[in-house]
C-alpha cells in the first residue's frame, strides 16, 4: 500500500495538533470568564464600596488577562495553520503519486478529486468550523460557574444547552445523507467538466455540445437538488436554534431579575449570568452551522484515505546502476485487474544489448500491453520481465527512467516547453536536450517553431501536429541515451520523411548499444530491426531473425517453420500450462 504509514503519521500529527488546540482552548475559555467576572466585581464590589483603587486594580488584572487571551488565541490559529501546512507538505505529492498509479491501474475512482479534497481539508482547518467541538468541550466550565452563581442559573443553562445539542443531533440525522450525496455528486460533476474540456475538439466537430451539456445539466440539477435539501433543513434548524437561543437568554435575564428582586442574587451576578449563558449556548449554535463543513471535511478525508490506502505502489526504493540492456522475458502472463481472460499467455524471449526487435500482429493481439509491461507500468500476473536480470516492474522508478526510453501509442506531451518535454521535466543541460533532438532528427523542426526550444506546448499553448508531437515524443524517449528503448507504433503519424528519420534514430540507438523494441503495424519500419516477433491472441506466433520470420509469414500455414526461433509449438504448450496455473 502506498504511503500508508505516512498517512497514519499525518493523521497522528493532526490528532496531536487537535489535542494541543483543545488544551489551549481550555485556557482561552477560562480567560473568557474575565469580562463576566469583571462586570460582577464592578457592580457588586466597586459600586458599593465606591473604591476607584479597586476599579483600577481590577481593570489592570482584566486587561492583562485579555492580553494573554489574545496571545493564546493567536497560538491556536498558528497551530491550525501548521496543521493545514502539514497536510500540503506531507500528503500533496503522495496523493498525486497515488492518483497517477490509481489511474494506471484503470481505477474507476476519480483520482484528481483527491487533490481538490486536500485543498478543501486545508481550508476547513484554517476556517472557523474546526474549533466548534473544542468550544463545546469547555461549556461545562461555564455551567459550573453558573451553578456557583446560583443553582437556578445553572439548571436553566444546562436545560438550554441540552435542548440545543439535541437540535444539532437532529440536524445531523436529517442532513448527513443528502449532504454527503451532494458532495459525491459535486465531485462527479467536476470530473464530467474535466472530461468535456479534454474532448472539446471532438465535441465541437460533431456538434455534441448540446447533448453533453444536457447530460451535465442533469447531473448538476441532481447535485443542486441534494445540496438544497440538506441546506434547507440545516438552515431552517439553524434559524430556529438562533431564535431559541435568544429566547433562552431572555428567560435567563428575567430569572436573574426575579432573583435580584427576591434578594436571592446580586445585580452583578445577574449581569454575569446574562453574559455566561451566551457563552454556554453560542458553541451549540455554531455546531449546527458547522455541521455541514464537518460532514464535507470528513468525506474529503475519507476519499483521500481511500485513495492512499487503496493504491498499490509496490516498487523497490534502492536506485540501481545503469544496465547494459540485456532483456529477458520469462513465461510472461498478464491478466488485467477485474478481467478473467489473460491478455498475454506465457511469452518468453530474450534480447542482447544493442539488438533491435520488431513486434507485429493483429489488433488487440496484446502488443501495447506487452510494451507497458516491458517498461514496468503494469505488474506481470505471472512470469517476469528482466533488464540485466532485474525486474523492470520492481525497479526504482527514477533510476529506471534514466536508462529507459518509452514512446506510447498516444504520445501525451506534458504542459511546458519543448525543452521541458524532451528533458523529461528536468533541468538538463541544453547539450543533452539538443543531442536527443538531433538523434530524433527534430532539431531543425524545433528551430522553425515560434520560440524554438522555449515554445510552450500543451492545452492552451502552441498546437503541434500529430507527426510533430510523435517526433518530440521520440526525442524524449531518446533523451539520456537509454539502454532500453520501447517504441509503440512510433510511425503512426509520420510521413515518409518522418519514417526515414525514425529509421536513422533506431540505427543510431542500436549503434550506441541500446536495446530497441519497436511495435509496428506498417512493415516499412520493421526493415530496420534484427529480429521479429509475431504476436497473435496474446501468444508468440513467430519469433526469430527478421528475414526468417518474414519468409515464414509468407509461406503457407502448414509449411511454417522458423529456423532460429525457439520451438514455437513446445513454447506455446508450456505457455498454456502457465496460463492455466495463473488463472
Ligand X SMILES: Nc1ncnc2c1ncn2[C@@H]1O[C@H](COP(=O)(O)OP(=O)(O)OP(=O)(O)O)[C@@H](O)[C@H]1O
Return residues touching ligand X (CB under 6 A): 106, 336, 339, 343, 361, 363-369
Using the minimum distance from each CB to ligand X, give the nearer residue, 56 or 339.
339
**Cell numbers linked to 150:** 446560583
CB nearer ligand X, residue 374 or residue 528 = 374
* Closest separation in Å from C-beta 372 to ligand X: 8
Please report how close the Cβ of residue 192 comes to ligand X at its closest, in angstroms. Answer: 22
Kind of pairing, strands 327-334 and 390-391?
Answer: unpaired
Q: Which is nearer to ligand X, 285 or 541 (CB)?
A: 541
Shortest Cβ 339–ligand X spacing (Å): 5
DSSP string, 223-251: HHHHHHHHHHHHHHHHHHHHHHHHHHHHH
Nearest to 449 by CA among 479, 471, 481: 471
Least Cβ distance, residue 331 to ligand X (angstroms): 18
CB of 369 to ligand X, least distance (A): 3
Supply the minimum distance, in Å, between the C-beta of residue 334 and ligand X: 8
Quick one: which of 118, 24, 124 has its CA closest to 74?
24
Q: Which is nearer to ligand X, 194 or 364 (CB)?
A: 364
Q: Taking the mean position of all CA atoms in its chain, how far away is CA 202? A: 27
In the bound state with ligand X, the residue whose beta carbon lies nearer, of 46 and 518, is 518
Give the shortest CB-522-to-ligand X separation in angstroms: 11
Cβ distance to ligand X smaller for residue 239 or 339: 339
DSSP assignment of 407-428 equals E-SS--PPSEEHHHHHTTTS--
Between the alpha carbon of residue 33 and those of residues 17, 159, 279, the distances in Å are 25, 21, 9
Q: Minimal distance in Å, beta carbon 336 to ligand X?
A: 3
CB of 413 to ligand X, least distance (A): 20
Grid cell digits, residue 5: 504509514
* Residues 341, 339: Cα–Cα separation, whole Å: 6
Centre a 10 Å sphere on the Cβ of residue 91 and count the other Cβ atoms it contains: 24
What are the start-end ranges of the H helices in 343-495?
367-374, 397-403, 418-422, 430-439, 443-447, 466-478
- Nearest distance from C-beta of residue 387 to ligand X, angstroms: 20
Q: Smaller CB distance to ligand X: residue 410 or 574?
A: 410
Q: Whose Cβ is closer to ligand X: residue 313's or residue 366's?
A: 366
478/327 Cα distance (integer angstroms): 18
Nearest to 392 by CA among 329, 335, 345, 342: 329
Beta carbon nearer to ligand X, 166 or 364? 364
Residue 540 phi/psi, 5° resolution?
-75, 120
Instruction: Return the sign of the alpha-carbon dihedral for residues 390, 391, 395, 397.
Output: positive
Nearest-approach distance from CB 488 to ligand X, in angstroms:
7
Q: Please provide the DSSP assignment of 131-189 as one string.
A: GHHHHHHTHHHHHHHHHHH-HHHHHHHHHHHHHHHHHHHHHHHHHHHHHHHHHHHHHHH
- Burial class (CB within 10 angstroms; exposed 0-12, middle 13-18, buried 19+) of 346: buried
> What span, in angstroms and rounded, lies between the C-alpha atoms of 199 and 473?
21
Query: How far, in Å, CA of 328 to CA of 232, rounded?
Result: 64
The cell numbers describing 416, all together, are: 511546458
> Is 84 or 381 the residue whose CB approaches ligand X more closely?
381
255 vs 369, which CB is nearer to ligand X? Answer: 369
Amino acid at each position: 500500500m502506498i504511503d500508508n504509514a505516512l498517512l497514519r503519521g499525518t493523521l497522528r500529527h493532526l490528532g496531536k495538533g487537535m489535542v494541543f488546540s483543545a488544551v489551549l482552548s481550555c485556557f482561552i475559555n477560562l480567560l473568557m470568564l474575565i469580562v463576566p467576572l469583571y462586570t460582577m466585581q464592578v457592580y457588586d464590589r466597586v459600586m458599593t464600596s465606591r473604591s476607584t483603587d479597586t476599579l483600577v486594580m481590577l481593570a489592570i488584572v482584566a486587561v492583562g488577562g485579555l492580553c494573554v487571551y489574545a496571545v493564546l488565541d493567536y497560538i491556536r490559529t498558528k497551530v491550525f495553520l501548521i496543521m493545514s501546512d502539514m497536510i500540503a507538505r506531507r500528503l500533496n505529492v503522495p496523493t498525486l503519486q497515488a492518483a497517477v498509479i490509481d489511474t494506471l491501474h484503470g481505477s474507476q475512482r476519480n483520482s484528481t478529486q483527491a487533490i481538490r479534497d486536500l485543498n478543501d481539508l486545508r481550508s476547513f482547518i484554517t476556517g472557523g468550523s474546526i474549533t466548534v467541538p473544542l468550544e463545546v468541550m469547555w461549556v461545562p466550565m461555564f455551567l459550573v460557574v453558573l451553578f456557583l452563581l446560583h443553582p437556578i442559573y445553572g439548571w436553566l443553562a444546562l436545560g438550554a444547552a441540552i435542548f440545543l445539542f439535541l437540535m444539532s443531533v437532529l440536524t445531523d440525522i436529517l442532513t448527513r445523507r443528502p449532504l454527503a450525496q451532494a458532495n459525491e455528486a459535486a465531485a462527479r460533476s467536476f470530473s464530467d467538466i474535466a472530461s468535456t474540456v479534454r474532448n472539446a475538439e471532438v465535441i465541437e466537430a460533431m456538434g455534441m455540445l448540446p447533448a453533453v451539456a444536457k447530460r451535465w445539466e442533469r447531473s448538476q440539477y441532481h447535485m443542486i437538488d441534494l445540496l438544497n435539501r440538506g441546506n434547507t433543513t440545516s438552515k431552517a434548524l439553524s434559524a430556529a436554534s438562533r431564535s431559541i437561543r435568544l429566547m433562552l437568554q431572555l428567560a435567563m435575564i428575567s430569572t436573574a431579575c426575579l432573583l435580584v428582586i427576591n434578594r436571592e442574587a446580586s445585580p452583578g451576578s445577574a449581569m454575569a449570568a446574562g453574559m455566561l449563558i451566551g457563552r454556554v449556548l453560542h458553541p451549540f449554535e455554531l455546531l449546527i452551522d458547522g455541521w455541514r463543513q464537518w460532514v464535507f471535511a470528513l468525506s474529503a478525508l475519507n476519499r483521500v484515505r481511500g485513495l492512499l490506502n487503496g493504491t498499490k505502489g509496490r516498487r523497490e526504493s534502492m536506485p540501481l546502476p545503469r544496465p547494459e540492456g540485456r532483456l529477458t522475458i520469462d513465461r510472461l502472463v498478464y491478466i488485467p485487474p477485474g478481467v478473467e481472460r489473460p491478455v498475454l499467455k506465457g511469452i518468453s524471449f530474450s534480447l542482447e544489448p544493442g539488438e533491435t526487435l520488431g513486434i507485429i500482429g493483429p489488433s488487440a493481439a496484446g502488443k501495447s500491453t506487452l510494451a507497458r509491461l516491458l517498461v514496468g507500468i503494469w505488474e506481470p500476473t505471472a512470469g517476469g520481465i528482466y533488464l540485466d536480470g532485474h525486474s523492470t516492474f520492481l525497479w526504482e522508478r527514477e533510476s529506471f527512467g534514466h536508462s529507459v526510453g518509452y514512446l506510447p501509442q498516444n504520445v501525451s506531451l506534458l504542459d511546458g516547453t519543448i525543452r521541458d518535454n524532451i528533458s523529461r521535466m528536468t533541468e538538463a543541460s541544453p547539450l543533452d536536450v539538443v543531442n536527443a533532438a538531433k538523434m530524433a532528427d527534430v532539431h531543425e523542426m524545433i528551430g522553425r517553431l515560434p520560440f524554438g526550444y522555449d515554445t510552450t506546448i500543451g492545452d492552451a499553448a502552441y498546437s503541434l501536429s500529430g507527426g510533430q508531437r510523435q517526433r518530440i515524443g521520440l526525442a524524449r524517449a531518446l533523451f539520456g541515451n537509454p539502454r532500453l528503448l520501447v517504441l509503440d507504433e512510433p510511425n503512426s503519424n509520420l510521413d515518409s520523411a518522418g519514417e526515414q528519420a525514425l529509421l536513422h534514430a533506431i540505427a543510431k540507438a542500436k549503434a550506441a548499444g541500446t536495446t530497441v523494441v519497436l511495435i509496428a503495424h506498417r512493415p516499412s519500419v520493421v526493415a530496420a530491426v534484427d529480429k521479429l516477433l509475431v504476436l497473435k491472441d496474446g501468444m508468440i506466433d513467430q519469433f526469430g531473425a527478421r528475414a526468417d520470420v518474414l519468409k515464414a509469414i509468407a509461406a503457407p500455414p502448414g509449411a511454417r517453420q522458423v529456423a532460429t526461433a525457439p520451438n514455437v509449438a513446445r513454447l506455446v504448450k508450456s505457455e498454456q500450462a502457465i496460463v492455466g496455473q495463473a488463472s
